[in-house]
Amino acid sequence: MISAFYCFILSAAMFSLGILVFVIKKNFFLMLIGLEIMINSCLLLFISSGNYWNDALGQIIYIFIITISAVEVCINLSLLFKFYKINNTLNVNSLSELKK
């Protein structure tokens, strides 16, 4: 069994990677992937901390967040397809041109 310390370290590393991808990349799809990495690192933290304290609350929060995350992915992908259909690019810098 993996100790909680390693899960916390892995979760922090995944969250840092997600922030890095979200901040550095200007592609809308890659930013969405970075956001999903951050959400999954939080889910790993909830599961491992729930296991550490022998509490089922971490698993309940996991199910709740994974449900909301699935809805969030559906909405973001629909926005991404619409954005690509209008601009033929996924560059976030072209979002400012939508106001015109």
- In percent, how much of the chain has pLDDT > 90? 71
- Residue 1 scores a pLDDT above 80: no
State the average pLDDT over residues 59-74: 94
What pTM, to 2 d.p., does this model score?
0.84
Q: What is the pLDDT of residues 5-36, one digit of tens each?
A: 899 999 999 999 999 999 999 899 999 999 99
3 state SS for the chain: CCCHHHHHHHHHHHHHHHHHHHHHCCEHHHHHHHHHHHHHHHHHHHHHHHHHCCCCHHHHHHHHHHHHHHHHHHHHHHHHHHHHHHHCCCEHHHHHHHHC
More confident residue, 50 or 93: 50
